[in-house]
Amino acid sequence: MPQRMLFGPGPSDVAPSVLEAMARPVVGHLDPAFVGLLDEIGSMLRTVFRTANPVTFAVSGTGSAGMEMALVNLLEPGDRAVIGVAGVFGERLAEIARRCGAQADTVSVEWGRAVDPQQIADALASGGPAKLVAIVHAETSTGVRQPVEEIARIAHEAGALVVVDAVTSLAGIEVDVDRWGIDVCYSGTQKCLSVPPGLGPITFSPRAMDAIGARTTPVHSWYLDVGLITKYWGAERVYHHTAPISMLYALHEGLRLVLDEGLEQRWDRHETLGAELHARLTAMGFELLAAEGFRLPQLTTAALPGGADEKGLRGRLLDEHGIEVGGGLGAFAGRAWRIGLMGESCLPAKLDRLTSAIGSVLGSA
Amino acid sequence: MPQRMLFGPGPSDVAPSVLEAMARPVVGHLDPAFVGLLDEIGSMLRTVFRTANPVTFAVSGTGSAGMEMALVNLLEPGDRAVIGVAGVFGERLAEIARRCGAQADTVSVEWGRAVDPQQIADALASGGPAKLVAIVHAETSTGVRQPVEEIARIAHEAGALVVVDAVTSLAGIEVDVDRWGIDVCYSGTQKCLSVPPGLGPITFSPRAMDAIGARTTPVHSWYLDVGLITKYWGAERVYHHTAPISMLYALHEGLRLVLDEGLEQRWDRHETLGAELHARLTAMGFELLAAEGFRLPQLTTAALPGGADEKGLRGRLLDEHGIEVGGGLGAFAGRAWRIGLMGESCLPAKLDRLTSAIGSVLGSA
């Protein structure tokens, strides 16, 4: 495999010590040494999610499995879900909710904008009680930060549970599960945690677990049934499926690095370098597509100057500089890039390499 | 993590080159270099499954996710499934089928025995047409090899599709998807493939894909929807979820080692050493619990001699010898071990270490 610098929407660069952890000898998933490591992962995830939730672990699948796990456990056929849709990942939430047999009422906004909390309040005020409100915190398709804290407050006032997708936000910008009142929050390993893709950190509040306990129908999915999985991650250690040992080694080391740096220091690093990237892109003639005031530092959508050929230049960045950026999706396809500055990719020297390479391919276009 | 020798029901020992592959630098999941590797994995999996099925790939989850993927795509609410149950994993098939909304009619046998194909024929002859017959090839809870080939023939005569769990059999004993007429076959990486746990190799026949195309309701699961996933693994490369890059590096290297050895040579190796293990265990006073003629070489269930304390001795094997074996499940709990001789763990020198250690803890018990 070639050596790349990863500035796409994920995966991000992985620290050498995390790669080394993946190569450790495999032990059994019920080995006393391994279950101790599971406990430490649970504890570190609680710190990173800022929660005291006992039910905090990593799904044996990617962040998308985390999304499905959140919804498939909470929603029963006929339940109503109000879902904020501001891009691809909000649409995915609605699609999964429908497959759970729920009525998915979407609150949509134009690409590049954030959902207005008042729209959520309006949706909750009409159309019958909602079991939950779901929203993507950092919408990876648009680069927009959504007002999760206000939406959570409004949802709780209406008696709904709150599901938040923190795939691209966790460990990059503030995520505060308990203070914000999030009931289920899930993430992926390959964004700001800078661990290879393959696991979905997730946390369920006691209120969410009570709602799941009150279900009158079985959870559609056996693989993602949180009631079964917590018997393995909890004190009972009941076999459910064979845990992905090596990926969990990597997550353990990745979380250690995050906590070693400090969460707030890590947020600051993303904030500072993201702002610098925005300034440099603007100076080079890019147009930032996320609404001002809602721009994510770790994921930037930017239209290329002068209608430049995004695909061709993106290919040149990869081939000539070993640098990956992502192409635009949906409304931004064909004219914009998605540039990630996440975790190990979000370092001053790497940012310099990135913007210098962009300048070089633009200059000779 | 301590260094173990893994003789449990999985994970098995992992070859050094596979561990090294996990530590390779991560690239993007749409990187041209990476999608070439996906094509090679698909091709090698077709060789190992002995199939020409275009739809052959690895699920981004463990073997249990493969099981769920097989059933959730094929079964619609109200469909009838006939399921052979000869242990824990047959029961799991039935449980997942029920969660798909299907009528799961089970054909059960005593622990340690194989399902009689005539029982399946009888179940198919009564109770209305069945959409599929599902069976576990190598039942990891009992060590029994089930007569998949005959059952597949009977199922097809009745117009049913055939789903086979090859989690513990693939690359350890013969699995011949096309010749046996299997429609969906899935496995796990951590058994006879000797890759760390975390992926589920799977293959769908054109007939299975036609049945899925004829569904009148959406697949319950978005994460495991084969119609969406094949757009990424196929020529279109449409983003579905971020592929677990590092685990796929490992699978690629693990498959290369399997094909380098040769499938039939690998089956022979398991057959020979499994028989040797059975002889040595019997000589030490163990009672083999799988019915004669149906014993798996790669997974052996054996009751300890003289009612010895299985848990205590199992702990001593781990603590004093760094050797993992598994405890009995279900009807065999508390009195038997499950001993895996799979992939990289199935080598003459390792077998000697294993039986010598067993002799040592038994002798001083």
Quick: pLDDT tens for A96-133.
999 999 999 999 999 999 999 999 999 999 999 999 99
Is B318 part of the contact surface with chain A (CB cutoff 8 Å)? yes
Query: Which residues, in sequence order, are CB contacts of A348 under 8 Å at separation 6+?
Result: A273
**A1, A100, A188 ranked by CB distance to B25: nearest:** A1
Q: What tokens appear for A206 in the block?
A: 């006691």
CATH number of the domain located at residue range(s) B16-259 in this protein:
3.40.640.10
Whether the bond between A11 and the residue before it is cis, its omega within 30 degrees of 0, is yes
- The verdict on a CB contact (< 8 Å) between A197 and B221 is no
Place A95 in a pLDDT band, splitting at 50, 70 and 90: very high
Q: Given this model, what pLDDT does residue B267 score?
A: 98
Q: Chain A residues with CB inside 8 Å of B24's CB?
A: 1, 19
Q: Given this model, what pLDDT does residue B286 score?
A: 98
- Shortest distance between the Cα of A331 and any Cα of chain B, in A, equals 16
The mean pLDDT value for A253-277 works out to 98
Is B198 part of the contact surface with chain A (CB cutoff 8 Å)? yes
Q: Chain A residues with CB inside 8 Å of B62's CB?
A: 60, 241-242, 244
Task: Name beta bridge partners: B336.
Answer: B303
DSSP B335: T
**How far is residue B290's CA from residue B327's CA, in Å, rounded to a whole number?**
15
- The verdict on a CB contact (< 8 Å) between A245 and B196 is yes
Residues 107-136 of B with CB under 8 A from A: none
The mean pLDDT value for A209-216 works out to 98
- The verdict on a CB contact (< 8 Å) between B63 and A242 is yes
List chain B pLDDT tens, one digit each, 365 residues.
899 999 999 999 999 999 999 999 999 999 999 999 999 999 999 999 999 999 999 999 999 999 999 999 999 999 999 999 999 999 999 999 999 999 999 999 999 999 999 999 999 999 999 999 999 999 999 999 999 999 999 999 999 999 999 999 999 999 999 999 999 999 999 999 999 999 999 999 999 999 999 999 999 999 999 999 999 999 899 999 999 999 999 999 999 999 999 999 999 999 999 999 999 999 999 999 999 999 999 999 999 999 899 999 999 999 999 999 999 999 999 999 999 999 999 999 999 999 999 999 999 87
Q: Chain A residues with CB inside 8 Å of B34's CB?
A: 1
Under DSSP, is residue A89 helix (H, G, I), strand (E, B) or coil?
A: helix
Q: Domain-by-domain residue ranges, chain B?
A: 5-11+263-363, 16-259
Q: Chain B residues with CB inside 8 Å of A242's CB?
A: 10-11, 62-64, 188, 190, 197
Q: What tokens appear for B365 in the block?
A: 């018990």
Q: Given this model, what pLDDT does residue B78 score?
A: 97
Please, what is the Cα angle at B161 between B155 and B164, to 5 degrees? 85
Closest C-alpha to A288, from A335, A236, A252? A335
Phi/psi region, residue A165 (left: phi>0; alpha: psi -120 to 50; beta: rest), is beta
Task: Say if residue B31 is exposed, middle or buried (CB neighbours under 10 Å; 0-12, 13-18, 19+).
Answer: buried
**How far is residue A188's CA from residue A98's CA, in Å, rounded to a whole number?**
22
- The verdict on a CB contact (< 8 Å) between B99 and A240 is no
Chain mean pLDDT for chain A: 97
Q: Chain B residues with CB inside 8 Å of A92's CB?
A: 222
**How far is residue B339's CA from residue B355's CA, in Å, rounded to a whole number?**
11
* Integer angstrom CA distances of residue A202 from A54, A61, A205: 11, 11, 10
Task: Say if residue B3 is exposed, middle or buried (CB neighbours under 10 Å; 0-12, 13-18, 19+).
Answer: exposed
- The verdict on a CB contact (< 8 Å) between A61 and B60 is yes
Handedness of CA B225, B230, B231, B232 (dihedral sign): positive
- Report yes or no: A309 and A327 within 8 Å, Cβ to Cβ: no
Residue A1 scores a pLDDT above 90: no
- Report yes or no: B188 and B140 within 8 Å, Cβ to Cβ: no
- Shortest distance between the Cα of B212 and any Cα of chain A, in A, equals 16
Q: Cβ of B234: how many Cβ atoms within 10 Å?
A: 15
Q: How many Cα atoms within 13 Å fall on the side-chain side of residue B224?
A: 34
pLDDT digits (tens, 9 = 90+) for A174-186: 999 999 999 999 9
DSSP of B21-73: HHTSPP--TT-HHHHHHHHHHHHHHHHHHT---SEEEEESS-HHHHHHHHHHH
Say if B5-11+263-363 and B16-259 have the same CATH topology.
Answer: no
Residue of B nearest to A72 (CA): B221
Q: Chain A residues with CB inside 8 Å of B253's CB?
A: none
- Shortest distance between the Cα of B325 and any Cα of chain A, in A, equals 9
Residues 321-360 of B with CB under 8 A from A: 324
pLDDT digits (tens, 9 = 90+) for A155-172: 999 999 999 999 999 999
**How far is residue A18's CA from residue A15's CA, in Å, rounded to a whole number?**
5
Predicted TM-score (pTM) of this structure: 0.98
Q: How many Cα atoms within 13 Å fall on the side-chain side of residue A189?
A: 32
Q: Given this model, what pLDDT does residue B356 score?
A: 98
DSSP of A300-358: EEEEPGGG--HHHHHHHHHHHH-EE-EEP-GGGTTTEEEEE--GGG--HHHHHHHHHHH
Under DSSP, is residue A88 helix (H, G, I), strand (E, B) or coil?
A: helix
- Shortest distance between the Cα of B190 and any Cα of chain A, in A, equals 9
- The verdict on a CB contact (< 8 Å) between B222 and A3 is no
- The verdict on a CB contact (< 8 Å) between A60 and B247 is no
pLDDT digits (tens, 9 = 90+) for A312-359: 999 999 999 999 999 999 999 999 999 999 999 999 999 999 999 999
- Report yes or no: A243 and A60 within 8 Å, Cβ to Cβ: yes
Q: Given this model, what pLDDT does residue B1 score?
A: 87
- The verdict on a CB contact (< 8 Å) between B64 and A22 is no
- Type of residue numbered A361: V
Class of domain A5-11+263-363: alpha beta
Q: Return phi, psi of residue A55, to 5°.
A: -85, 85
- The verdict on a CB contact (< 8 Å) between A196 and B246 is yes
Q: Given this model, what pLDDT does residue A365 score?
A: 73
- The verdict on a CB contact (< 8 Å) between B222 and A96 is yes
For chain A, percent of residues with pLDDT exceeding 90 = 98
* Integer angstrom CA distances of residue B337 from A225, B90, B277, B312, B317: 28, 20, 13, 12, 12
Query: Which residues, in sequence order, are CB contacts of A340 under 8 Å at separation 6+?
Result: A6, A7, A8, A9, A10, A12, A191, A298, A299, A300, A325, A326
- Report yes or no: A343 and A192 within 8 Å, Cβ to Cβ: yes
- Shortest distance between the Cα of A123 and any Cα of chain B, in A, equals 25
Q: Chain B residues with CB inside 8 Å of A222's CB?
A: 64, 68, 92, 95-96, 99
Residue A135 scores a pLDDT above 80: yes
Residues 234-293 of B with CB under 8 A from A: 240-247, 249-250
Please, what is the Cα angle at A331 between A325 and A335, to 5 degrees? 45
**How far is residue B49's CA from residue B51's CA, in Å, rounded to a whole number?**
6
